[in-house]
Each structure stands twice: as structure tokens, then as C-alpha cells.
DNA sequence: ATCCAAAAGATTGTGCACAATGAAGTTGCG
DNA sequence: CGCAACTTCATTGTGCACAATCTTTTGGAT
């Protein structure tokens, strides 16, 4: 880690670097399944809730249609899913697993343990880090809402509380 | 936050979501300066060390030339920096601030406080989160090194120790 | 019935990330 | 010296993110 500089003190850079490092650890494992990391996240949702709509996928992944549409097209081209217009409401597109998409599930189930082992983190460590990050994200999203200026202390407190749990 | 699903338990998703949320908070502030977040990070380095080489930028930002070359071209086109081949070793490209790039510095100096205020985090909270993330990144990078399999417990311990500081 | 606003996706364009490859310069070794 | 290995950066191609805009469909509201 060569950053003896200003970057070391930027929390946003740390998040950015950590996220890319984590994705890099997943990459070789997911490549064996023919998936990228965003594609893997989408498949995780689909394995849990087949037939989900694009809108619901977007809410869970925090991605818009501009990202999801081409992503779904690539997964459909790879044979892992199918997209069907919902009959009752033809605006909605339902995403369904194919047999090939189902098959992938068993192989993918080993991945979380492989990642945890690669990073050498205990389940407790992972859960704790995960919880803290979820609260950071919540605080940051709250800062983006239109009324953020009106309630400047709402989100921060939840993060502060979360971090104090560790001290 | 709609993720009542499997994603909530994926640490890598939390990092990915937190990183994008943080960048989203920076975006409107940086847009006023005409910068993207990666461009801002690069300018931070340049303000601290004018004349740095592309290789050094890559080491600090953890980015390769495939990302940096076009990024530098855009910043040069925007008039914030100039690229000059180093005379002693013409393989090396030195990146220098322009007057316009220098001017940007004073405006940008307000940004970290604005971010901290927007997220409502204290300096101590930021430092603590930052430190934890840096260690997570270190652990993940260690997991990617060729000899990771030989020393499966080296990196993990540092992270575990870091997290135990909080408990 | 008709028109209008909202909802759900798709499309277009820009800017990262990153793998793979290439080109130009430098170094070291026989 | 000659040249092979290495260093540094650029280029190409793929796949996200995200803003902006568009199309189709739906659900009213008159």
C-alpha cells in the first residue's frame, strides 16, 4: 500500500479502494462461473426470488434501468435467465431463471466461504463489518435526500451509535 | 433501503453500495468544479506533489495505465494539467498542474468538510472508519497475492486485530 | 371516449475499471 | 557492441454506473 499521502486520510477513497479490492478477490472465482460481480449479485437475488421484476432488482441492487437493461441482456444471452413481459401489466418485465441459471446455483453456493477463507475473516468479523457498512451507506443516502439539510443529525447518529458499539 | 434479502449479508455488496453512495454524495459538489470523483482524487495527489509520474499516480490510486491514460487526457483537455515526457528517461511522463489546476485547489479545499458535514460524521468517526477500511483493503489485497495460500493467516490477523480494537 | 400524468423499461452518451496487447525507451549481460 | 529482458505508458475491447431522454403502458380525471 503506497499511499503515504493525503489519500490515506480520505474515507471515501478507503471505501472506493476496499470495494475494488473485494471485487478483485471475487473476480477469479466468478470467472469460473462465467459471471462478473454485478451479474453474481443479480443472480443471488434471482435464486432467492425467481420471477422478480426489473424494478425490484433495481431497488435491491440500487441500480437503475440504464445499468440493469444491458446487464440483463448479457445474462439472457449467456443463457442464465429469460425476460418476459408480465401479462397483467405489460410495462413490467419479469426475470426468470433458466435451467442453466438454476444449475449455476450449486456451484455459486461455495463462493461466500471461499471469499471468507481467502480474506481470513471469521463469520463474526464479516457480520460486524457488514453491519457498520450498511449504516454508513444509510447515513450517506440520508445525506442525499432533499430534506437532508432539514434533519442534519438523523442519519449521523445511527452511524455514530454503530461505531460506538465497537469501542 | 429495500434489501431484506441475501444481499444484506454479503459484505462485498455492502462495500460496493457504500462506495457508490459516498461517490454520489461527492458528485454534486465536484460537479461545481468540473471534476468527477476519480479526477478529484488525482488532483488531490497533484496538489500535493506536482510533477508526479503516471506510474506513481497509479501506485497511489491503485489504477493502471488503461484507466489513467484517458483520465489524464480528459484533465489535460479541461486545462487542469499538462503531461510532459521526462528528459532523463523518456518512458516516464510527468504530470504538472496548470495555473487553472492550481486555482481549483482553493475551492476544492472546502469539500472534505462539506462531505463530513453532509454525512454528519465526526472527525474521530471518519478516522476510525477509515482505518478499519484500510485494513480490510490490505487483507483483501493480501488474499490476492500469489503466496496467499502459503500464508493464509497473515493478513486476516491484522484485520481481526483492527476490528477487535473496536470491541 | 379522450386526454394527461405517472410508471416501467429501453436507449444514448460519457466516464471509469480492468484485461490484454502493443510500442517506445532503457538496462544489463554476454 | 548487440540484443533480450524489463519498464513505462498507450491502445483496444468489454462491462459496469449514471444522467438524460424516449417509448409504451396504465390509470385515472374530466
Q: What angle do CA A153, A8, B39 make, to 5 degrees?
A: 85
| Domains contained in chain B, number | 2
Cβ <8 Å between B120 and A41: no
Do A78 and A98 lie in one domain? The reply is: yes
Q: How far apart are the first and last CA of chain B?
A: 27
Percent above pLDDT 70 for chain B: 80
Q: How many CB pairs under 8 A join A and B?
A: 235
For residues B141 and A21, the answer to whether their CB atoms sit within 8 Å is: yes
Q: Distance (Å, rounded) from C-alpha B118 to C-alpha B95? A: 32
> Is B1 within the bounds of a domain?
no
Cβ <8 Å between A159 and B120: yes
Q: Which of A15, A119, A132 sits opposite B139 (nearest CB)?
A: A119
Phi and psi at residue B140, to the nearest 5°: -70, -40
For residues A162 and A135, the answer to whether their CB atoms sit within 8 Å is: yes
CATH number for the domain that contains residue A16: 1.10.10.10
Check whether B12 has a pLDDT greater than 60.
yes
* Chain B hits for A61, Cβ within 8 Å: 7
CA atoms within 13 A on the CB side of A69: 4
Return the residue in A2, A123, A143 with the most chain B beta carbons within 10 A, the one to mutate for interface testing. Answer: A143
Q: Distance (Å, rounded) from C-alpha A52 to C-alpha A48? A: 9
Cβ <8 Å between B5 and A119: no
B66 strand D contact, CB < 7 Å: yes
Do B144 and B99 lie in one domain? The reply is: no
Check whether A44 has a pLDDT greater than 70.
yes
pTM more than 0.85? yes
Give B109-150 pLDDT, tens digit per residue: 999 888 877 777 777 877 877 888 888 888 888 887 754 443
Do B69 and B115 lie in one domain? The reply is: yes
What is the per-residue pLDDT for A117? 75
Amino acid at each position: 500500500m503506497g499511499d503515504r499521502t493525503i489519500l490515506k486520510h480520505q474515507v471515501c477513497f478507503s471505501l472506493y479502494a476496499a470495494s475494488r479490492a473485494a471485487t478483485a478477490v471475487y473476480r477469479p472465482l466468478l470467472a469460473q462461473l462465467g459471471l462478473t460481480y454485478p451479474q453474481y449479485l443479480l443472480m443471488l437475488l434471482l435464486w432467492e426470488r425467481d420471477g422478480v421484476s426489473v424494478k425490484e432488482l433495481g431497488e435491491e441492487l440500487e441500480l437503475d434501468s440504464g445499468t440493469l437493461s444491458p446487464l440483463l441482456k448479457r445474462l439472457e444471452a449467456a443463457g442464465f435467465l429469460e425476460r418476459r413481459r408480465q401479462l397483467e401489466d405489460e410495462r413490467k418485465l419479469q426475470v426468470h431463471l433458466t435451467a442453466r441459471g438454476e444449475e449455476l446455483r450449486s456451484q455459486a453456493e461455495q463462493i461466500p466461504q471461499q471469499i471468507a477463507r481467502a480474506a481470513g475473516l471469521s463469520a463474526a468479523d464479516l457480520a460486524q463489518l457488514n453491519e457498520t457498512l450498511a449504516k454508513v451507506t444509510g447515513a450517506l443516502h440520508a445525506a442525499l435526500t432533499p430534506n437532508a439539510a432539514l434533519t442534519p443529525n438523523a442519519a449521523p447518529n445511527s452511524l455514530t451509535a454503530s461505531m460506538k458499539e465497537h469501542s
